[in-house]
Chains A and B, each alone.
Chain A
Amino acid sequence: MTARIQVTPNPKRGDVIEIRIAIQHPMETGFRLDDGGRAIPKNVVNKLVCRYNNVEIFRAEMGSGIAANPFLDFFTVAEASGELVFDWVDDQGQTGSERVALTVTG
């Protein structure tokens, strides 16, 4: 699963930073039928967790209402340099992970 992460560049300690993540995923709703009329089983990224230096700062539980290739955008306060780690799992049990380093000055 390809994913892209973007964080506000060059934050200072105490700054509010924006974190954006996009994940390539079909987010199959479970309501659609294939060409043969059989139901396509639901398969969405149902859980996504973001940890900042091993502290969970964001969690999303998603369902059929989220469009394909989900794009999430949230804010946090830059406290220390370190790493943001994203982990997610879909209904078929496939997991994905992506990390980005964060350098905080001041």
Chain B
Amino acid sequence: MTVPLRRAVLIAALAWHCAGAAAQQPTRPQPLKSGLEFTGPEVRELQQDDFANPGMLWITRGENLWQEAAGREGKSCAACHGDAKTTMKGVAVRYPRIDAGSARLINLEGRIQQCRERRQQAEPLKYESPELLALSAYVAQQSRGMPMSATIDWQNRHNFEAGRAMYNRRMGQMNLSCAQCHQDNWGKKLGPETISQGHSVAYPIYRLEWQTMGSLHRRFRSCLSGVRAELLPQGSPEFLDLELYLAWRAGGLPVETPGVRR
């Protein structure tokens, strides 16, 4: 074999190998589109009006709770963290992340719960409670407009892979995976609704269907119930892994909290 030919064969083999590897790489939808682009103009207007947006009521509540002393320590969030408008800016875009103490994955809600129990020595806030929704919405809102930027490294790679596997796993009586709707068929119709790409950038979110604010994990449960799969509890490790995968998948999309959806 001549040298140029051998080189050509080598390049072809390398290209083949890369193509094979590329097929196994996790993929983001192209182009990335926020769920807001799949809703009607009324919903978009409602989200963008900072007074009419009903989620702002939770933000106001969260702002008040931030200043309120709680627990045996008699400390408020502000006592340690100061003004959330500066100290909490850009925090939400990095969650979920590995908690240094437990080496486990933790999301924003989990971090607030942990702070409340350990630092404030207060009654734990239940997942999906109005107080936790208000506080997590208030903290997440400080990152509004900033791009989602979860990074995958050796510490959280196994969580990421578990989340990705869950995303692609068929489940429930309908035998559907998340990917079959939100990766393969976004933009198409499911009944009257347009299927969105299913990004996690606007949570906690005000859904008109719920008539209230809800967490990302509540939304997961709605989808699981839709495909008639077993409902996992909010805050479960499986949901956290999935949340990490979604945070990576939405990488670069701006945070919208408090979002409004149908």
Tell me the A residues contacting B by CB distance below 8 Å: 2-4, 6, 20, 22-24, 26-27, 67-69, 71
Contacts and interface: CB of A to CB of B under 8 A. Distances in A.
Contacts of B211: 26-27, 67-69
Contacts of B54: 22, 68-69, 71
A22 B57 contact: yes
B138 to A, nearest CB: 12
A29 B211 CA distance: 12
Interface in B43-71: 51-52, 54, 56-58, 60-61, 64
B51 A24 contact: no
A20 B57 CA distance: 13
A88 to B, nearest CB: 14
Contact of A6 (B51, B57, B61, B212): B51
Interface of B is mostly: helix
Contacts of A69: 54, 57, 211-212
Nearest to A73: B52
A67 B208 CA distance: 9
Contacts of B57: 2-4, 22-24, 69
Given A6-B51, A26-B211, 18 more contacts: A2-B58, A2-B60, A2-B64, A3-B57, A4-B56, A4-B57, A22-B56, A23-B57, A24-B57, A24-B58, A26-B212, A68-B54, A68-B211, A68-B212, A69-B211, A69-B212, A71-B52, A71-B54
Contacts of A23: 57
A4 B60 contact: yes
Interface residues of B, number: 11
Contacts of B58: 2, 24
Interface string B248-260: 0000000000000
A105 B72 CA distance: 48
Contacts of B60: 2, 4
A27 B210 CA distance: 12
Given A22-B57, A24-B57, A69-B57, A4 B212 contact: no
A27 to B, nearest CB: 8
Contacts of B64: 2
A9 to B, nearest CB: 12
A24 B61 contact: yes
Contacts of B52: 20, 22, 71
Given A2-B60, A4-B57, A4-B60, A22 B212 contact: no
A71 B53 CA distance: 10
A25 to B, nearest CB: 9
B102 to A, nearest CB: 33
Contacts of A26: 211-212
Contacts of B56: 4, 22
B51 A4 contact: yes
Q: Quick one: which of A26, A67, A68 has the most chain B CB within 10 A?
A: A68
Interface in B199-255: 211-212
6 closest Cβ pairs, A-B complex: A68-B211, A24-B57, A69-B54, A2-B61, A6-B51, A2-B57
